[in-house]
Amino acid sequence: MKKRGIGIGSMFYGVGYGFSRQDIGSAIVEICEDGSVIVRSGEVDYGQGSDTIFSQIVAEELGIRYDSIQMITADTFTTPNSGPTSASRVTYVVGNAMLKAARALRKTLQTVAEEILAEKDLLFVDEEVFSESHPEKRISFERLAKEAHNRGLPMVEAAWHDITTADVDPETGQGDAYDVYAYATHLAEVEVDTDTGKVDVLRIVAIVDAGKAINPLNVEGQIEGGVTMGLGYALTEEIKLEGGYLKTKSLGEYMIPTSMDVPPIETHIVEVPVSTGPYGAKGVGEPALIPTAPAILNAIANALGVRVVDLPANLENLHRLIQEGLRES
C-alpha cells in the first residue's frame, strides 16, 4: 500500500558566527588606467557564486560592465583574509566590504568628473559618467580612470566590514547573538510504500528570505542545491561506526542523491531587505538546506501516523519503524 503525506519545515538562522566570535570581511578594489577593474578577496567561491555577486556589486557601484572586472580570490600572497566560506556570511559580510571599497573609489572619481564636467549631479551608468540635469555633459569611465591615474590619485581601495557581536549574557544566555537572521520554510509531498518503507519525494516547495536577491538565478541555484543536500540528509546519507571503526568507507556506501533522485523543486525568493546588508541582501546558504529534512520527515509522519526520530529514513530504518507500529496496533 502507498500513502501520501505533506509536511512543513521552518527555520531561522543567525548569519555569520555570532556569540562574539570575530567576523570580518575584507576586499581590495583597484581601477586600472584602461578602466578595467581588479577585485581581490580572500573568500573562496567553490560553486555558490560569490565571485559573481562581488563582481555585480562593484559593477553596480562604478557603473561599468560586469565583464570588465577581474576577480582574484584565495591567493594568500595578494588577497586579504576574509574568513571562511561558511555560515551564510559571504554575501552579507564580504559583500559589504566590496561595497565600501567601490564607493570610496567612486567618490574619488566623482571629484575628478565634477571638475571636468563642471556639474555635481553625476550618474555612473553604462561605462559613462554624465550629468543628470545636462546629460550631454559626459565622460567615458575609461577616460575618467586615465585622468585620475594621470593626476596621481589613489585608484586602489581596501575595505573591511565587521559584524562581530557582543557575547550573550553568561547568566541568562540572552542577548543579540547575531547581527542578522535569515528565514525559510519548505514544504514536502511524499509517497511512502508501507510494504517496503520506500519513500518517494514527489515535490518540494522552498521559500527563502534572501533579503535582496542580487542575482536571482544564483539564489535559485543555491536553494536547489540546499534542497538536494537536505534530501540526502533525510533519506539516504549515513555514516556507520562499529566498535569505533568507520564502516562507511566510500561515497558509494554513503549514498548521496544523484540528479535522478531529485524531485521537482519549486523555489520562491522572498525579499525583505535588511538595512545592514549590501543592497539589503543576506545569505541563503544554510537556510536553503536546513528546513528540507524536517519537511520530509513531517510529511512521512503525516502519511504514516508514525514519527521518524532517527536519520536517515531509509528503507531499512523506515521498514522497521512501520513494522513496530503494526505490532503495537
Q: Which of 305, 54, 65, 296 is nearest to 159 (CA)?
A: 54
The grid coordinates of residue 321 equal: 519503524
Angstrom distance (rounded) from CA 252 to CA 71 = 36
Helix orientation angle between 141-150 and 95-117, rounded to the nearest 10 degrees: 80
Q: List CB contacts of 26: < 8 A, sequence separation 6 or more.
A: 41, 42, 80, 81, 82, 94, 97, 158, 159, 160, 161
End-to-end C-alpha distance for the chain, whole angstroms: 17
Sign of CA dihedral 117, 98, 269, 185: negative
Catalytic site residue from 286, 316, 324, 328: 286
Known catalytic residue at 286:
yes
Sheet containing strand 122-125, edge to edge, reads 122-125, 128-131, 138-140
The grid coordinates of residue 10 equal: 521552518
Question: For residue 99, what is the enclosing H or E element?
Answer: helix 95-117
Beta partners for residue 184, in sequence order: 11, 208
Q: List CB contacts of 249: < 8 A, sequence separation 6 or more.
A: none
Catalytic residues: 286
